[in-house]
Structure 1
Amino acid sequence: MYLSRVEIDINNRQKTKELTHLGAYHNWVEQGFPNEIADHKRLRHLWRIDRLAGKTYLLVLSQEAPNLDQLGAYGVEKTAMTKSYDPFLDQVKEGQIMQFRLTANPTHAISQPGKNQPRIVPHVTVNQQRQWLAERAAKLGFQVVKTATAGLMDSEEIENFDIVSRDWPILKRGHRTIRLSRVTYEGLLRVDDLDTFKQTLMNGIGREKAFGMGLMTVIPRG
């Protein structure tokens, strides 16, 4: 696995004028793997947009290393870089506390009378979006760290994570224009099931992974 990053040249409107919807970003990521295109072999590429310290980055997790010239097509010159992710994965330990960042598409299924397939709809409130992650954590190999908070009468434990961004970016599919719910979470987790957690890091969480959702990154604490 490889983790790659490039700073998006957001101040150069001529260069980035095409990046108006999630499909354009998806195409950008795919063009970063010309060998896969030539071999007609499309592997999954997890990616997300990060905004940190006044800069905007494209972050990509992939099985093969990307072509940095292609990855830098819409980036600030000489900011495209990649490194092997495997050494980091090999160091993850069960019980380890980690700081995480996740951009995801929290949804739920609603049954439709007379239809076999349920309708997939987004969670729209902060409480629903928080609950979506908390309920899935155990199956994904981790637990969200809880912090005891002292109230007036007693104390309770709350999940130690925040929603730091919520928006509805555009995705164009043919003649259709739709908006996807995009939510970014940050907080602390504890690794419970090592193998499952590694699969979560490599395969992502939730829906719309081709369009910038599902990538979780972690940093060890302590």
Structure 2
Amino acid sequence: MYLSRVEIDTKNRQKLKNFTHLGAYHNWVEQGFPDEINHGERRRHLWRLDQLTGKNYLLVLSENEPNKGQLEKYGVLGTATTKSYDQFLDTIKIGDIMRFRLTANPSYTAPRPGQKRGRIYPCVTIARQRQWLIKKAQAAGFKLVWQQPAIDEVDGFVFDVVSRDYPMLHRKTGHGVHLSRVVFEGLLQVQDLTAFKGTLIKGLGREKAFGMGLMTVIATV
């Protein structure tokens, strides 16, 4: 596994004139793996958009190493970096307390009369978005760090929603839709090593092809 990052060239309007929806970023990511395209492979690449010290970045997690030139096609030349992610995964241990950042699409399913499958709705309020992550944590191999004294079950956890918006996605058929995008940051503790590594590699939640689901972590000590 490889974790790559490139600064987005936001000052070049000509480069980014078509980047008005998530599908354009998805295509950028896919173009970063020309060997996979040539061999007819359709591998899942997790990605997200980040902001750090006033700059915008594209972050990509992939099984294969991306082509640096393609990664910088819409980025600032010389800013693309790629590191082995497997080496980092091997350092994680049960009980580790880590700071995390997750961009996700929190949602829930409601039953529909006469239908086998329910309808999927976005979690709209911050409270429901936080509860979504709390419920996902155990199966994802971690628990959210608890802080005392706590006002209630939600306020006691050391994490928060730091950003949320509704970017546009133009689908191949039908009208475009706005997806709910939420950025969480906080502290977690690793509980199930296999499940947690699976979460880091495969992502969490829906709309993974369109910039959601990628969780990154760093050790607190």
- The separation in 2 between residues aligned to 1:150 and 1:157, in whole angstroms, is 6
- The separation in 1 between residues aligned to 2:92 and 2:102, in whole angstroms, is 17
User: What do residues 85-138 of structure 1 show as CA deviations (whole Å, max 9, x unaligned)?
Assistant: 010000000000000000000000011111112111100000000000011101
User: What do residues 126-174 of structure 1 show as CA deviations (whole Å, max 9, x unaligned)?
Assistant: 00000000111011000000110277xxxx9701001100000000013
Identify the residue that residue 121 of structure 1 maps to in structure 2: 121
Q: Where does 1:101-180 land on structure 2 (aligned, <5 Å)?
A: 101-149=101-149, 158-174=156-172, 175-180=174-179
SS at match of 1:79: coil
Identify the residue that residue 47 of structure 2 maps to in structure 1: 47
Equivalent pair of 2:204/2:215 in contact (CA under 8 Å): yes
- The separation in 1 between residues aligned to 2:182 and 2:176, in whole angstroms, is 19
> TM-score when scaled to structure 1?
0.96
User: Displacement, 1:11?
Assistant: 1.1
- Among the aligned pairs, what percent are the same residue? 60
Greater strand share, 1 or 2? 1
- The separation in 1 between residues aligned to 2:150 and 2:28, in whole angstroms, is 48
Equivalent pair of 1:148/1:157 in contact (CA under 8 Å): no
Q: 1:180 corresponds to which letter in structure 2? A: L
Cα distance, 1:141–1:17 mapped onto 2, change above 3 Å:
same
RMSD of the TM alignment (CA)? 1.4
SS at match of 2:48: strand
Unpaired segments of 5 or more residues in structure 2?
Answer: none
User: Runs of at least 4 residues of structure 1 off by over 2 A?
Assistant: none
- The separation in 2 between residues aligned to 1:38 and 1:150, in whole angstroms, is 54
- The separation in 2 between residues aligned to 1:67 and 1:91, in whole angstroms, is 27
Is 1:189–2:213 an aligned residue pair? no
SS at match of 2:128: helix
